Structure 1
C-alpha cells in the first residue's frame, strides 16, 4: 500500500480509471471490472463529474452513477474514491458556488457522505484563485470532502494554491494529477519538483499513452483498431518510441509481465508517484493493472527505460 501525500489515505499503488464506466464499459462490465479490481487487492478508484459527457446520450456524471450503484450493491470496505470538478456541462468552472454545487451533486451520484479525494480538474483562470482555494477549504471544513488535489495545473499555479491555502489557514492539496508516462515526461522539470518539495503525491493520467504503452499500436494505420483512443495513440508511433516498446516488452518478459504492466511499473518507480491511473474496458484487462501495482523493476531496467524515453 502507498500513502497519498500527508493524508491518511493508504491506497493500492495502481489507481483504477473510471472514465470508461458508462462509456466503453457498460454497467454490467463495469461492475465486473470493479469486482475483479477489489478482489485482487485494489482499493483506489478515480473518476470525474464530467465522465462521460462527450458520449452521445450521456449527460456527465455517468461514471459516478455507475460507481455509486456498485458501491451501494457491494458495500466494499476501505475503498478510496477520487473525483473532480470543473468540466461537467452543468457545473463548469471553479467559482465557489459551482464548486459547492458540483460536490453536492457528486456526493449524490456516488451515494457517499464524503468524497475521499476531490480534484480541481482544470485550472480556471477566470476565477480568482483565492476564491477557488477557499471553496475547496470550505468543503473540507464542512465535511463534504476529506482531502483535495489539483489536476492539469502548472507548477506555478500549484505553488500559488499552496501559498494561498496557508495564508487562509485552509486544507492544502495532498495530490496532483498530471499527464505523465514513458513518452510524456515534461512534468519532470516542472510539476514533479513541486510535488517533492511540498510532499504531494502524483497520480498520473494517460499512464499508458492512450494504449500505446500497452503495445496496442505499432503502426499508424488505425483502421479496424476498434478503440476510440486509437487515433490519439498513433501520434506516439515513431521510430524512437517503437524501440522503447521493444525494450519494455523484453524487460517485461524477464518478469513474465505484459507491456502494459511493465510500462506502469516504470511509472510507479518515479519520484512522488503514488499510483498511476489506468482503466480497463474489459474484466480480462484487470489482471495486468493489478500486476503493475506489485511489479518491481531492477535499477538497471529502470535506467534503460529512462535512457530510451528521455
Structure 2
C-alpha cells in the first residue's frame, strides 16, 4: 500500500480510472470492473465531475453517478478511497469559492456519500485568486466533506503559490498531485513537477500512465489506430516510441506478463509516485493493470527502460 502524502490515507499502488464509466463502459460493465478491481485488492478509484460531458447525450457527472450507485449497491464505501475533481463540469466551471462549494455538494450527491477522500482542483483557474480557491478547499475539509485535497494539471509555480497561500492563512495543504507522466512523456514532469512533489511531500498519481494505450503494445502501425483513444496514441507512433515498446515487450516476456504491467510497474517505482492511474474498459483489460501492483522489475530491466525512454526526458 502507498500513503497519500501526510494524510494517513492508504491506497493500493494502482488507481482505477473512472473516465471510461459512462463513456466506453456502460453502467453494468463499469460495476463489473469495479467489482473485479476490489476483488483484486484495489481500493483507489479516480473520477471527476466532468466525466463524461464530452460524450454526445451526456451532461457531466455520469462517472460519479455510476460509482455512487455501485458504492450503494455493494455497501463498501468505507473500504474504497474515492478521488474526484472540480472545475470542468459544464455547470460548475472554474475554481471560485462558491462554485467549488456547489460542485462538491453535487459530487457528493452523485457519489451518494457524505465525504470525498481526495478532492482535486482539476485544472487551474487563472481568473480566480489561488488564495480564494485554497480557502474554499480548506472549508470543505473543515466541514468534513473532504478528507484531503490535491491538484492536477498545475504548473510548478502555481503549486508553490497554493502552498504559500495555504501556509499564510493556515489552510489545509495539498497531499497529492496528478500530472501527465509515463514512459513516453517524461520531460515536463521530471523537469518541472517532480522537484515540487519532492519538496512538498506530494503523492504523485500520474494520469495517461499507458499513453492512451500506446504502451500496451497494441499500436504498431497506422493501421492499428482505431478506437476511442487511438488518436491520442498517434503521436507516439515513431521510432523512439516503438523502441520503448520493444523493451517493454522484452521485459514483459521475461516475467510472463503484459507490456502494460511493466509500464505501470516502472512508473510505480519512480520517486514519490503513489499509484499510477489507468482505466479498464472491460474486466478482461483489468488483469494486466492489477498485475503491475506486485510486479518487481530487476535493476537491469529498470535501467533498460530508463535508457530507451531517456531521450524523451531531456
TM-score category (smaller protein):
over 0.9
**Aligned residue in 2 for 1:233:** 233
Task: Flag structure 1 segments of 5+ consecutive residues without an equivalent.
Answer: none
**Aligned residue in 2 for 1:148:** 149
**Aligned residue in 1 for 2:121:** 120
Give the distance between the partners of 1:235 and 1:190, measured in 2 at CA: 22
> In the alignment, does 2:291 pair up with 1:291?
yes
**Aligned residue in 1 for 2:245:** 245
Give the distance between the partners of 1:159 and 1:130, measured in 2 at CA: 12
Specify the SS of the correspondent of 1:176: strand
**Aligned residue in 2 for 1:306:** 306
Specify the SS of the correspondent of 2:223: coil
| Number of residue-to-residue matches in the alignment | 308
Residues 232-282 of structure 1, C-alpha deviation per residue, up to 9 Å, x if partnerless?
111101111111101001001111110111000010010010000000001
Give the distance between the partners of 2:218 and 2:128, measured in 1 at CA: 40
Specify the SS of the correspondent of 1:221: helix
Specify the SS of the correspondent of 2:222: coil
Residues 152 and 177 in structure 1, CA contact (< 8 A), matched pair in contact too: yes
Residues 218 and 224 in structure 2, CA contact (< 8 A), matched pair in contact too: no
**Aligned residue in 2 for 1:176:** 177
**Aligned residue in 2 for 1:41:** 41
Give the distance between the partners of 2:231 and 2:20, measured in 1 at CA: 17
**Aligned residue in 2 for 1:207:** 209
Q: How much does 1:80 deviate? A: 0.1
**Aligned residue in 2 for 1:167:** 168
Give the distance between the partners of 2:240 and 2:171, measured in 1 at CA: 46
Give the distance between the partners of 2:224 and 2:62, measured in 1 at CA: 28
**Aligned residue in 1 for 2:74:** 74
Residues 144-177 of structure 1, C-alpha deviation per residue, up to 9 Å, x if partnerless?
1000000000111111101110111010000000
Residues 4-52 of structure 1, C-alpha deviation per residue, up to 9 Å, x if partnerless?
1111111100000000001100001001000000001000000000000
Task: Flag structure 2 segments of 5+ consecutive residues without an equivalent.
Answer: none
Residues 136 and 148 in structure 1, CA contact (< 8 A), matched pair in contact too: yes
Q: How much does 1:221 deviate? A: 2.8
Specify the SS of the correspondent of 2:174: coil
Residues 169-198 of structure 1, C-alpha deviation per residue, up to 9 Å, x if partnerless?
010000000000000012101111110111
Give the distance between the partners of 1:280 and 1:57, measured in 2 at CA: 22
**Aligned residue in 1 for 2:140:** 139
Residues 219 and 234 in structure 1, CA contact (< 8 A), matched pair in contact too: no
Give the distance between the partners of 2:224 and 2:234, measured in 1 at CA: 8
Give the distance between the partners of 1:168 and 1:143, measured in 2 at CA: 19
Q: How much does 1:222 deviate? A: 4.5
Q: TM-score, normalised by structure 1?
A: 0.98
Specify the SS of the correspondent of 1:149: strand
Give the distance between the partners of 1:138 and 1:153, measured in 2 at CA: 21
Give the distance between the partners of 1:283 and 1:107, measured in 2 at CA: 26
> In the alignment, does 2:279 pair up with 1:279?
yes
**Aligned residue in 1 for 2:88:** 87
Give the distance between the partners of 2:218 and 2:105, measured in 1 at CA: 39
